[in-house]
Chain A
Amino acid sequence: MTASALRIAACAVAAVVLIAAPFGLKPYGIYVLSLWAVTVIAAIGLNLTLGYAGQVSLAQAAFVGIGAYIAALLTTNGWPFTAAYVLAFAACFAVGWLLGYPALRVQHHYLAFVTLAFNTLVFLMFRNEEWLTGGIYGINRVPRPELFGVSTASPRAFYYFCLVHLVLVAAAAWWLIRSPWGRAFVAVRENPLRAAALGVDTRRYTLMAFALGAGLGGVSGALYAALLQYVDPTPFSLTLSLNLLLMVVVGGSGYFLGPFLGGAVAVLLPEWLRFAQNYYLFGYALVVMVLMVFCPTGLIGLGARLVKLLPKQTAAAGKPAP
């Protein structure tokens, strides 16, 4: 079996599992899977910005929040959900572009601090501007969307709604990465000065990656609002940004499947480890640190290395593996 055939088979199996999963799970399990799907969308966005374009952003939680509030405000006022999340994407893309314009002039750790500051400022606005966001009281009773007359209010229906979006976003990201744009992102990440010397408009590409990542964060936020049916400022703090960062890195920054695996570790694993109760976060932090020491390219990187260690099936047989 060739590598690509194996990959296609694995994709098919994954698709079957994800589609069939709700039938074997109670509403709680379905909810957690939906939360995983929604979080992965935000992580895919951050992976674009960080993994492919090399820009350290700690602002992703702010974009998720902006998307969530836009969706909540619009849908509680009767707007259809489709309009809400298109607007969420557009708004976050625009804000991302505006933020990136000055911010991306600085590198690495400076960018991390600027995005960190932005995230905290946005959080403060969410909390203080009661006239707009409901302040600390939040927006309650956010309705779930209705598609072609079918309500997504039930856990299973909404899960499929999230899954469809995840597939769409993943497909779009896949196409983007395979396109010349994607290659430009990687060139800028590896060596910005050299890329510039080769005539790549580094500025435009990094801005694009940043804004796209932000836009995806907005989409994630819109889905999040409909999932919880309640939006308040507390989840959109720096902690979520850091968590998303950890997710992307643990999964494998710059690998397409990184966010999926990172999301599983951050959202699904804690539920699995409930027996660990209070020690869960402690254990999670320990795992991240150990992972960083032994495999800084994340779990996917670890997987890639393990695959390389397997004995080769090529015609150069007779040579024993070292």
Chain B
Amino acid sequence: MRFWLGAAVAAAMAVCVGQAAADDIKFANIGELSGAGAVSSTNWRDGATLAVEEINAKGGILGRHIVMTNYDDQTNPGMARAQMQKAIDDDPYVILGPIFSGMVKVSMTLAQQAEIPQFIGGEASDLTQLGDPYLFRTSYGQQASMPKIANYIHDVVKAKSVAVVWVNNDFGKGGRDNFTKEMNARGIKIVADISTESGQTDFAADVVKAKAAKADAIFVYTNEEESARFLREIRKQGVTVPLIGETTLVSQKVIELAGDAANGIRGHVGLSADIPVPGVQEFKAKFQKRFNYAPDHNAIKGYTAVYAIRFVTEKKLGKFDRKGLAAALHGLTIAPEEEPGILIATTWDDKGDIDRISFLAEVVNGKQQITETLPKLGKQ
């Protein structure tokens, strides 16, 4: 009897859920909708959904309706590969996600073999070094954002020594490795290398270590909640040296959770919903209205990815051609004048890395304020 059960289950799995009409164009979105990456991937998915809804309201791409199917990889590599395979079996036009770099690594080969363009949210530097012509980023890789922040620390803060506080997952370690490389290149000494755990709640010991190192500045590279806890603890212990971070540190979520402890932190922001670019502000309002919460940078990544796909397919190709899409995107710059949905002018290079202007921000009185706009890394 139990064999029948197992057999029935196995056979039933072949049944597809959610058939799209023959004329629709399919997008597959794979994300960490549960598990550790839930918050980032939910933002990404909702940003992409907003873009899809807007485009469909105006008639779709080349007259065809977009149907986006979401696949949850549960922040587990085995599941990520399974969901990628499932998505590919459905013959999508493009694949969006994953966001977590580990999930990208385990699944990207399948998309590459199937020759389907893939727009990822992952920021680990090695993802674009693997020779996959179908992989495209939607935000700075860590190898691009770290030089910018290193320049800031060297030129503006003029620190001679830095303490690094990082979260021990692939996001944090990748950031710390790239950061360390950039610091060494500029002759700034790293006097404390403090690893923390994802989900860590008690930061007293880490603050004590950071204080004892007597650095000129402290670079904080952890996820949002841990950043908030760390900031509260470090303010509590009365530390006054500059606290510098990246997009996650100066984000709205951290400001909300850390309260007053967030004031005075500075950072490099690749993308955020609070930058003073009119298109972004409009996006933020629309998103807030549609989903009832404020978007973070992952939402912008999802949104712009869909519009980039639309632009290239409609304006550059005039037809649905996966290989053509990938080829056209290499070396292409899309400006908001041509495609408002791209929000900020974006360039993709031949490896799939992205180049955009970015910003320096500071938290003043509980709000993120942009203090400077940084130019693109490559040629204008």
Contacts and interface: CB of A to CB of B under 8 A. Distances in A.
A17 interface: yes
Interface of A: 10-11, 13-14, 17-18, 21, 24-29, 31-33, 35, 127-128, 135-138, 140-141, 155, 224, 227-230, 232, 234-235, 257, 260-261, 264, 268-269, 271-272, 274-275, 277-278, 281, 299-300, 303, 307
B282 interface: no
Given A135-B173, A261-B6, A27 B12 contact: no
A268 B13 contact: yes
Contacts of B9: 264, 268-269, 272
25 contacts: A11-B3, A13-B4, A17-B10, A21-B11, A24-B11, A25-B10, A27-B88, A28-B85, A33-B10, A128-B168, A136-B173, A137-B124, A140-B130, A141-B109, A224-B78, A228-B77, A232-B106, A234-B102, A257-B2, A260-B6, A261-B5, A261-B6, A271-B13, A278-B34, A281-B34
B108 to A, nearest CB: 10
A31 B2 CA distance: 22
Contacts of A303: 1-2
B111 interface: no
Nearest to B12: A272
Given A24-B11, A278-B34, A35 B72 contact: no
A228 B13 contact: no
Interface in B1-54: 1-7, 9-14, 17, 33-34
Nearest to A274: B17
B81 interface: yes
B372 interface: no
Contact of B78 (A27, A28, A228, A272): A228
Given A224-B78, A228-B106, A31 B10 contact: no
Contact of A25 (B4, B14, B78): B14
B86 interface: yes
A254 to B, nearest CB: 15
Interface of B: 1-7, 9-14, 17, 33-34, 72, 75-78, 81-82, 85-86, 88-89, 102, 105-106, 109, 124, 126, 130, 168-170, 173-174
A264 B174 CA distance: 37
Contact of B3 (A10, A271, A307): A10
Contacts of B130: 140
Contacts, number: 124
B280 to A, nearest CB: 29
Contact of A230 (B3, B12, B85, B106): B106
B7 A230 contact: no
Given A14-B3, A230-B77, A277 B106 contact: no
B10 A268 contact: yes
Contacts of B124: 137
Nearest to A140: B105
A317 to B, nearest CB: 24
Contacts of A140: 105, 130
Contacts of A227: 78
A35 B2 contact: no
A232 B3 CA distance: 34
Contacts of B5: 261, 264
Contacts of B173: 135-137
Contacts of A271: 13, 82
A26 B78 contact: no
A235 B106 CA distance: 12
Contacts of B4: 10, 13
A136 B69 CA distance: 30
B14 A137 contact: no
Contacts of A275: 17
Contacts of A25: 10, 13-14
B109 to A, nearest CB: 7
Interface hub of B3, B34, B72, B173 (most chain A Cβ within 10 A)? B3
A241 to B, nearest CB: 14
A18 B10 CA distance: 9
Given A28-B89, A128-B168, A268-B9, 12 more contacts: A18-B10, A25-B14, A28-B85, A31-B82, A33-B13, A35-B78, A135-B173, A138-B170, A228-B78, A229-B106, A261-B5, A271-B82
B105 A35 contact: no
Contact of B168 (A127, A235, A278): A127
Given A135-B173, A224-B78, A29 B14 contact: yes
B7 A17 contact: yes
Contacts of A29: 10, 13-14
Task: List 3 tightest A-B contacts by C-beta distance, closest first.
Answer: A28-B86, A230-B106, A14-B3
Contacts of B170: 136-138, 232
Nearest to B76: A235
Given A138-B105, A303-B2, A24 B14 contact: yes
A272 B82 contact: no
A18 B7 CA distance: 8
Contacts of A281: 34
A271 B72 CA distance: 11
Contact of A32 (B7, B13, B88, B174): B13
Interface hub of A11, A234, A278 (most chain B Cβ within 10 A)? A234
Contacts of A28: 82, 85-86, 88-89
Given A136-B169, A224-B78, A275-B17, A21 B89 contact: no
B57 to A, nearest CB: 25
A232 B14 contact: no
